Structure 1
Amino acid sequence: MKKRQHYWVIASFAFLFFVMLGYVVKFYPEALRPFDTSVQSTIRGDLPQPLTAFFKTITVIGNPSTQAIIAAVAVIVLWLKKWYAEAIYVATNSILAGICIVSLKYIYQRPRPSITHLVHASGNSFPSGHATGIFLIIGSIFVICFQRLSSQTAKWTVAILLGLLIFCIALSRIYLGVHYPSDIIGGFLLAYAIHNLVFPYYDQLRFKWRFQGKQK
């Protein structure tokens, strides 16, 4: 119970920071302009062609359709391996990500940046669906790998690779001009809050089912 409360506290603070940021986005967006503009300018630079090609490619991994495919494949593979709690964990985080992204974009209705977009992006800007969704889906896979892998080298290799993937996808949205940096921060805060809310239930279910022999 204490462990669950620990995660709830973390989730509460992450939600609080998200709401605070969202309040500024909704009512005082000009207050974020200096920060967003300076970060955008630093990241985009003079838009070198190789970097543009890289970010155009990697951002596709964070597209809603790609996220859905990654989540579906992960759930199927985990279920076939009889890792049922893990499959439910990925599915739950994926569904919650989708619901929150659609709902909150409608609530905040922040227009996308007015700078040149290097890829097509429709809908509202805050929070970033790429940052939120990919953090939760890839983050869930990261947690499962960290629990299941026995080798410390393998664990940290997976952690670094998946962490870099999440970072690069989020960075691509700023570079390509379709999100403000504060959209990315908001997406990460939201995803981190959801993760800490869901994780203790998943971890308890996983322990219970493995103890009862209901899953591997």
Structure 2
Amino acid sequence: MKNKQTFYVKTSIALVLFVLLGYSVKFYPETLTDIDSTIQAIVRGNLPNVLTTFFKLVTQLGGEVFIFIYVFLIALGFYVRKKWKAEAYFLAGNLLLMGIFSTGFKYLYNRPRPSLTYLIPKPMGPSFPSWHAASTMVVALSLVVIIQQRLTSQYIKRGLQILVVIMAILTAVSRIYLGVHYPSDILGGWLLAYTIVVAVFPFYNQKRFEWRFQSKQK
């Protein structure tokens, strides 16, 4: 119970921070202008062609179609080949929850996209929170948990964990670089992803233990 309460506290803190950020986005957007503009200028620079090509590819790989294909295949592999039923549900379920909440919050806060030069076609829908940032980070954090629990080699474990987080960060940076999101949209997406993973983790961990115990008794 104490362990669950710790996760509930972390979930509450992250959710409060997300709501406060969303409140600022909705009612006091000018408070975020300076920091958003500064980070945008640093990330975008003079828009070199090499980085533009790279980030276009990154943002495409982190898009809706690809992310759902990746997660479906990984979850299917967990479920069928490894018999990791709880892990498959944890990964796929977190992405599904993120999609629902991210879409709902987008239309709740209804933030316009940045008034910058877009390097890709302007995406549909409001700007806050970033769907790309939230989805890739929720998948990365879910995999970090699964990798931590399932792999034994410390080198492989840390290497894979760092890799999935870096991929999520690069996807988020690509959205700023390409001009379609404010940095505060990215932060909102990350807070939402963290909230979901931490909130779901105690239930996932309990089911994981129960199902492993049941399988050993058969």
**TM-score normalized by structure 2?**
0.96
After superposition, the Cα gap between the structure-2 partners of 1:77 and 1:42, relative to the gap in structure 1 and judged at 3 Å, is: same
SS at match of 2:47: coil
Match in the other structure for 2:141 = 139
After superposition, the Cα gap between the structure-2 partners of 1:124 and 1:209, relative to the gap in structure 1 and judged at 3 Å, is: same
Structure-1 separation of matches of 2:39 and 2:158: 29
2:192 aligns with one of 190, 193, 196: 190
How far residue 214 of structure 1 moved from its aligned partner, in angstroms, is 6.7
1:161 aligns with one of 160, 163, 179: 163
Structure-2 separation of matches of 1:153 and 1:71: 24
Structure-2 separation of matches of 1:201 and 1:19: 24
Match in the other structure for 2:116 = 115
Structure-1 separation of matches of 2:24 and 2:64: 26
- Establish whether residue 211 from structure 1 lines up as the match of residue 216 from structure 2: no
- Establish whether residue 32 from structure 1 lines up as the match of residue 32 from structure 2: yes
- Establish whether residue 63 from structure 1 lines up as the match of residue 71 from structure 2: no
- Is the 8 Å Cα contact of residues 143 and 161 (structure 2) preserved in structure 1? no
SS at match of 1:213: helix
Structure-1 separation of matches of 2:8 and 2:38: 34
Counterpart residue type for residue 158 of structure 1: L
Question: For each residue in 1:107-140, what CA deviation from the matched residue of structure 2 results, as whole angstroms up to 9, or x when unmatched?
Answer: 0110100101111222110000001111112321
Question: For each residue in 1:36-72, what CA deviation from the matched residue of structure 2 results, as whole angstroms up to 9, or x when unmatched?
Answer: 0010001100011111111110111221111211121
Gaps of 5+ in 2: none
Matches within 5 A, 1:12-23: 12-23=12-23
Counterpart residue type for residue 114 of structure 2: P
Match in the other structure for 2:90 = 89
Structure-2 separation of matches of 1:36 and 1:165: 22
After superposition, the Cα gap between the structure-2 partners of 1:214 and 1:114, relative to the gap in structure 1 and judged at 3 Å, is: farther
Gaps of 5+ in 1: none
Structure-1 separation of matches of 2:62 and 2:145: 19
Structure-2 separation of matches of 1:198 and 1:61: 26
Match in the other structure for 1:106 = 107
Counterpart residue type for residue 53 of structure 1: T
Match in the other structure for 1:41 = 41
How far residue 146 of structure 1 moved from its aligned partner, in angstroms, is 1.8
More off after superposition, 114-123 vs 18-27? 114-123
After superposition, the Cα gap between the structure-2 partners of 1:118 and 1:4, relative to the gap in structure 1 and judged at 3 Å, is: same
Structure-1 separation of matches of 2:192 and 2:23: 14
Structure-1 separation of matches of 2:148 and 2:205: 13
How far residue 73 of structure 1 moved from its aligned partner, in angstroms, is 1.0
Structure-1 separation of matches of 2:37 and 2:90: 37
SS at match of 1:179: coil
Structure-1 separation of matches of 2:216 and 2:44: 51
Counterpart residue type for residue 92 of structure 1: G
**Percent identity among equivalent residues?**
49
Structure-2 separation of matches of 1:77 and 1:28: 45
Question: For each residue in 1:155-195, what CA deviation from the matched residue of structure 2 results, as whole angstroms up to 9, or x when unmatched?
Answer: 11111111111110011000110000000000001111111
